[in-house]
Amino acid sequence: MDKFVHLHTHSHYSLLDGLSKIDQLVDRAKELGMEALAITDHGNLYGSVEFFKKATKAGIKPIIGLEAYVATRSRHDKESGIDSTRYHLTLLVKNEIGYKNLVQLVTKSHLEGFYYKPRIDKELLEKYHEGLICLSGCFTSELSRAIEHGDMRKAKEVASFYKKLFGDDYYIEIQPQSPELVEGQIKIAEELGIPMVATQDSHYISKSDAPTHEVLLAIQTGNKLDDEDRFSFSGSDSSFRSEEEMQAALEEAGVDEKHAKEAIHNTALVADKCDFQFKLGVLHLPKFKLPEGERDSFTYLKELVDAGIKKRIGKETKEVRERADHELAIIQKTGFSDYFLIVQDMVNWAKSRGIMVGPGRGSAAGSLVSYVLNITDVNPLKYDLLFERFLNPERNEPPDIDLDFADHRREEVIGYLRETYGDDHVAQIITFGTMAARQAIRDAGRAMGLPYPFCDKIAKLIPFNPNQGRPKSEIQTYIEQVPELGALYRQDPNAKALLDTASNLEGVARHASVHACGTVVTQEPITQYLALQRAPQDENSIITQLEMGSILDMGLLKIDVLGLRNLSIMEDTLRFIKELEGKDLKISEIPLDDEETYKFLQEAETIGIFQYESSGMRRYMKDIKPHELEDLIALVALYRPGPMELIPSYIKRKFGKEKVEHIHPKLEPILKNTYGIGIYQEQMMRIATDLAGYTLPEADTLRKAIGKKIKTLLDAQGDKMIKGMVANGIDEKTAKKIWDLFPPFARYGFPRAHAVSYALIGYWTAYLKTRYPEEFMTSLLNHAGNDVERVAVFIQEAERMGIKVFPPDINKSVTDFAPEGNNIRFGLSAIKNVGSAITENIVDERLKNGPFESLADFALRTRAHNLNKRVLESLIKSGALDSLGVDRATALENMDYLLKSSSEGQSNNQNGLFGGVHKFEIKLKPAEHKAKKADLLAWEKELLGLYVTEHPLKEILKDVNSDKVHPIKSAFGENKEGKRIMTCGVITQVKNIVTKNGSVMAFAKIEDLSDTIEVLVFADTLAKTKDLWKENKAIYVTGRVSNRDGEAKIICESAKEINL
């Protein structure tokens, strides 16, 4: 190799510092004819595997590297004002030993040396330098700083240290961006006999990217471009230069031609030394610790499967035995016995601790082995599920068992993995947030100092992708497609500058976070494979520096440990049932043919029911009238963009209003359950095996090819399918018609195994709501989190079911919502500003020393438990202290006196002046005016998020003409589209948006005693009624019902305020 090689290059994984994406760097290097390239991101190896794969594919030798931060003293020193300064140093991997040492350095920099930045020190370098090439670093290196300060003696000491440590693998970097250092660098190099290399410290691709890079830096620091003294690269060219540009730039910086050519030539020599390659695609699965006396993993797995068949199925039929043996043979062949043992151990441990585990997720429910090992609760033979959809022996990749656990206990499961396999063998997986179109526009606009309304208006002109719920990429595409956006781009210079900048930022990594579910488990310590760091928001959590795709490329075991709120709801419901009714109900014992449950579902009473609670789903639920689990399974698969258009036909066919026809009789047994409509991926695979003679592994390969939508793959599969069908006696014309069903499966096909699993959870939650309504609704409320709107919906639903939700009471409430007879009591922690810590103390005090007898008694006994003015005010206003006999206005006026007196009383009580906590009383000054009813309700709404004791419309509705004014609920249901309606409600939410034509419209939510609905107020109507649209106002609304998006809304024509 004799061409120039970039050895100091930053990608966008130098977060908010590097602009270049990996693809751009590789493409530019290839364009320039470069044979090798190094990536040296700041303090991390985030992009190492991605870069390795893409560079290798492009025929470019990848060099894994790092720009390290070196502590000025020890990495353990973290003294303010001294240790916030650090030096930079460039490290490149030569070989396998070097990679493992770099991983150690990076990991320790994060776990031990982090102080503003992840830092190593010379002690670590002395221990982990083997197999690494060291370049002296940029202008902020220790060597450069010494030269800059004219301290050549110090400079020689630094260079001598690194030369002694790295020997011939130490080089002095000369960069064209630092002409002031050139003379000193050459002098040191020649005096100590250290070779020089030319590096560019590239942060973006071309010179034209420099302004965007300045914006990126301003986003990083929270500055505006015109702020003085902000962090900036201004005046420095940090582009990805060609060899000719490097030669010219070095000479311009004061490097003579001889030294410049030598430094450039040396980059190729360094690249020649680097010979590390990731061994991608090689599996490194951990071994399960076998019980004593067991000789190997497969034998033990087979023993567990045989025992599981007896336990879960009972009688072993020929079908069961053949399926189990078939699956075991594939598991043995692919070498995944330990994988199944690890997963079953984790799941059974969780179940033994009472942690609710989902019945399955994804394709794992297609495995009989998983079922009898208790990993899943779906018998694949009963539901006609395919093992090869889950584990295809023709693909050299581990099966993917995604697992749902009760979300509030997920950390316990991950903790068990750490305890079992060791902290250094288990970590959660990193993920990266990238700048989507709208965010890029807003971030860029803020940095550029443009007004927020201007940027927000432009951002909102970017359409959303309905399939992903987020804007599509390619801002430039929308400039052409959205007329108003295009007009702004062409006519407004600020809009053009903003959109061009945002377009360059789009897709750039913005921040690191923790993947929602991915956890890696390794045989050797994780740092034998990859670097670790602390989670950005939780320094106690250790995460990988490689994202999910790279983890899988490395051949490591990834387990998806997901937290599912509905499982927590079910777990708590079962606990309440046991506590209140003495029944130890098991989810597995719930009958799947309960008539009352199906009646409940047919009436679409599915608020709070997993998968089935959206208004669109409720509409279809009424139409489909489910009478068995198959209907629920189909709805899970159909209620998605794409297949949703098949639902009307499914419903008509179910009730005989549309003829069920099959292109060929052999399709009937495969499509019978779905009335001749292909819904599931497994059906597609069955057609391939039963009609075209595919093996199941081949059928799964077909499924994947269709999912990828690659024409060459589809054409090859189409030819194979048609030939196979013709060979099986199907005429070619019919065979082609059958094949035509397949390409649309890319949009329609859904894994039946996943649909079965999630339909089961949906049915179980419906059963619990039907049969144990108080327990279920209490659990539902407790897991609504801080979502006040959800709490309000659930309370409204409880009351519709005849369950009263009592307001909070200091002597009856506990921390959370709790059943009280056949009703529910509001929990104290659900009151705004009142956290669970103090409510637990309040409840403990009440249980220990009896009910609170007065307001003074309450204040005295809880003052030591962080009772402050804000908490006391919230308790008073919410009505939680009403039972203590003091009206709220008086209590509010005496708050300061109460807190002061209770502090003094507490001190006196500790000194034995009272002889008992209940003898403390103070005289409160009565309020001049009691609080009005409207005030009491407003306080409830503010602090509880809803009206509990009474809705403000209750009295109004008594006098309303019911022939003219209809309840909100009447807007929902069949045949309401376009109907004119007049209703009334209290405004709970208002959001104004700027439309594509620049006008302002409003989206409001209103509620009455029957339901909640969204109201769309277009610009003309808003202009006439703009003062009405404020939260907590009561209004009459007249308009037309729209069901366009599957959810009822009112298009407002007029509105009038109601005086409460």
Residue 242 to residue 34: CA distance in whole angstroms:
9
pLDDT at 464: 67
For 211-256, the DSSP string reads HHHHHHHHHHHT--TT-TT----TT---S---HHHHHHHHHHTT--
Residue 544 to residue 547: CA distance in whole angstroms:
7
Q: Where are the alpha helices (DSSP H) in 603-675?
A: 615-624, 629-638, 647-654, 668-671
Query: How close are the terminal C-alpha atoms of the chain, in Å?
Result: 84
The bridge status of strand 980-994 relative to strand 1000-1007 is antiparallel
Return phi, psi of residue 1052, to 5°.
Answer: -70, 130
Instruction: Show the domains of the chain with their CATH numbers.
Output: 22-222+233-273 (3.20.20.140), 297-420+520-528+547-565 (no CATH), 436-506 (1.10.10.1600), 587-757 (no CATH), 784-944 (1.10.150), 953-1058 (2.40.50.140)
Exposure on the CB side of residue 871, measured as CA atoms within 13 A = 21
Closest CA to 585 of 771, 804, 399: 771
Return phi, psi of residue 260, to 5°.
Answer: -65, -45
Instruction: Give the residue ranges of the chain where pLDDT is below 50.
Output: 466-472, 910-918
Residue 1012 to residue 989: CA distance in whole angstroms:
11
Closest CA to 526 of 399, 423, 431: 423
pLDDT at 978: 87
Contacts of 245 (CB under 8 A, 6+ apart): none
Residues 1016-1052: pLDDT tens digits?
A: 999 999 999 988 999 888 999 999 998 876 678 999 9
pLDDT at 908: 56
pLDDT at 470: 44
Closest CA to 429 of 333, 572, 531: 531
Residue 2's Cα: distance from chain center in Å?
A: 46
Kindly report the number of other CB atoms within 10 A of residue 534's CB atom.
15
pLDDT at 945: 81
* Strands (DSSP E) found in 388-537: 402-406, 426-434, 464-465, 470-471, 509-521, 532-535
Rg (CA), the chain: 34
* Strands (DSSP E) found in 55-211: 61-71, 86-93, 119-120, 132-135, 170-174, 196-198
What is the pTM assigned to this prediction?
0.87
414-418, long-range: CB < 8 A, 24+ apart: 414/519, 414/561, 416/346, 416/349, 416/350, 417/346, 417/519, 417/521, 417/559, 417/561
CA distances from 127 to 63, 108, 119 (A): 22, 12, 15
Return phi, psi of residue 950, to 5°.
Answer: -165, 145
Q: Where are the alpha helices (DSSP H) in 531-591?
A: 548-553, 565-581
Cα dihedral across residues 938, 941, 943, 944: positive or negative:
positive
Backbone torsion region of residue 384, taken as left when φ is above 0, otherwise alpha when ψ lies between -120 and 50, otherwise beta: left
Residue 216 to residue 815: CA distance in whole angstroms:
46
For 672-707, the DSSP string reads GGGTT---BHHHHHHHHHHHH---HHHHHHHHHHHH
| Contact in structure between 432 and 21 (CB atoms under 8 Å) | no
Number of residues that this document lists for the chain = 1060
Residue 263 to residue 69: CA distance in whole angstroms:
24
| Contact in structure between 816 and 805 (CB atoms under 8 Å) | no
Exposure on the CB side of residue 836, measured as CA atoms within 13 A = 6
Q: Is 153 exposed, middle or buried (0-12, 13-18, 19+ CB in 10 A)?
A: exposed
Locate 457 and state its tokens.
């208006």
pLDDT at 1031: 86
Residues 965-999: pLDDT tens digits?
A: 888 888 877 678 889 999 999 998 898 887 767 67
Residue 982's Cα: distance from chain center in Å?
A: 41
Q: Is 138 exposed, middle or buried (0-12, 13-18, 19+ CB in 10 A)?
A: buried
pLDDT at 760: 98
